[in-house]
Structure 1
Amino acid sequence: MNARRTALLGGLAYLATFVFSMPAVLLLHPATDDPTGFVQGAGNESQVVLGGAFELITALACVATAIALYPVTRRVSRTAALGFVASRTVEAGLILVGVVSILAVVTLRQDFAGTADAPAGLAAVAHGLVDVRGWTFLFGPGVMPAINALFLATVLHRAGLVPRILPVLGLIGAPLLVAKTMVVTFGGLDDLTVVAGLCALPIAAWELGLGLWLTFRGFRPSPVLA
């Protein structure tokens, strides 16, 4: 096993999730902000399709992080290693459901924008599809990173493969992220508020810090790499 190559691939995959996921939110804005107006012809269709492609890449990068790191994580705990692969796959699946929902709104626009025979419930369908994307975004990137952290941060902390502060951030951020998502789900908080952002910050710092460390420094010396 080439530990440096494993770390590099895992780090690059983590960084890819940031590089593509954040612009995707902005690119999808014409459809998610005003589904009715978008279907009727307002907004940039190509921009939304590009945002969907970015989210597709994000989903693939999610799975790639777990697969790339598996040769190392399985040496510490096979259960945690498989759990990390499974949780990342579930996260990717939720993201893909959201992508399909948004691209379906694009199809509605292509089929009915500016036509006289548009169905009466077209706006309701568009809003429903955007709502599906909203829920997949809440439970995908909103919950699954916490589960990912419980598996991966535990492994890295136990083996001492990265600076302790990184997995500690992940283990602290996991319950904060889940709590924030549950409060948002039951209407106690808007997901776009400062408080919600602060609750998600530790997990974001854990994933970004891990991606940067693995990419540029690699794993620390450990018996599991022998």
Structure 2
Amino acid sequence: MSKDRRVALLGGIAYLITFAASIPALPLLEPVTDHADYVLGAGQDTQVVLGGVMELVTAFACVATALALYPVTRRVSRTAALGFVSSRLVEAGLILVGVVSVLSVVTLRQDLGGGTGAPAGLTTVAQALVDVRDWTFLFGPGIMPAVNALFLGTVLYRAGLVPRSLPVLGLIGAPLLVAKSMVVAFGGMDDLSVVSLLLTLPIAAWEFGLGLWLTFKGFRPSPVLSRDSAPA
């Protein structure tokens, strides 16, 4: 297996891991994110912690996508390659803040809640932590994939390393995702509404399609692959 094929394979697998980890994490975290009184009840701590671990895996896989592809993307544009790494780091950081917020609710329930003698205002504190997670989810997985698509999509389109329909899908989906997130942020619609999900679909299709292509097909032949370093 050539070096560039390994780069594509690692990047593709990392993309697929983000889907495999992030999708099941949402229902696992629902006992906390959908119920403000979780901190006072019996709790489903094991399930929630597992969801937090899945989100942790998602964050690491996000960074891995950019680091794995960097040896090739830097040959097209060092600026765009570093931009992609940076945007993935920001996304992963926001995800981690959300994970810590949710798991803090679990710790509050174990230490102070779970009974009639719980301190006053405990539910308010727990809800505040859930609100932090909601905002990090909106600005992390909600907006940063659009920034990622602008950096990586531009590189892949210019170099022709994958079918151009894939980066075009990402470049079209990027402004749609940002617009959706802004409407949600200002209370115009729910983040889980049908319209919201439809506006998210192009970015999701771009990332999933890219993951499949890189994993099973690799990069298309391109002059970029013969370069050892990025142009000046």
TM-score (norm 1): 0.98
Using the TM superposition, give the Cα deviation of residue 40 of structure 1 relative to its aligned residue in structure 2, in angstroms: 1.3
Q: Does 1:35 align with 2:36?
A: yes
Corresponding residue number in structure 2 for 1:199:
199
Q: Which residue of 1 aligns with 2:9?
A: 8
Which residue pairs with 1:210 in the alignment? 210
Structure 1 runs, 4 residues or longer, greater than 6 Å off = none
The 2-side partners of 1:31 and 1:23 are apart by 15
Q: How do 1:3-152 residues align onto structure 2 when only pairs under 5 Å count?
A: 3-36=4-37, 38-115=38-115, 117-152=117-152
Provide the C-alpha distance between the structure 1 equivalents of 2:110 and 2:158, rounded to a whole number of angstroms. 53
Between the two proteins, the alignment pairs up a number of residues equal to 225
Give the distance between the partners of 2:55 and 2:25, measured in 1 at CA. 6
Paired with 1:181 and 1:83, the residues of 2 have a C-alpha distance of: 21
Q: CA deviation at 1:117?
A: 4.2
Q: 1:24 to 1:56 in 2, by over 3 A?
A: same
Q: Distance in 1 between matches of 2:40 and 2:191?
A: 28
- The one-letter code sitting in structure 2 at the alignment partner of 1:183 is V
Q: Which runs of 5+ in 2 are unaligned?
A: 227-232
Aligned partners of 1:106, 1:116: CA distance in 2, in Å?
Answer: 17
Alpha-carbon distance between aligned partners in 2 of 1:221 and 1:118, rounded to the nearest angstrom: 64
Cα deviation for residue 35 of structure 1 reads 2.7
Distance 1:77 1:106 in 2: 44
The one-letter code sitting in structure 1 at the alignment partner of 2:16 is L
Q: Distance in 1 between matches of 2:135 and 2:114?
A: 29
Instruction: List gaps (5 residues or longer) in structure 1.
Output: none
Q: Distance in 2 between matches of 1:44 and 1:174?
A: 36
> What is the Cα deviation at residue 68 of structure 1?
0.2
Measured in 1, the distance between the counterparts of 2:84 and 2:111 equals 41
Cα distance in 2 between the residues matched to 1:114 and 1:180:
38
Q: Could you tell me which amino acid in structure 1 is paired with residue 64 of structure 2?
A: A
Q: Give how far 1:115 is off.
A: 4.2
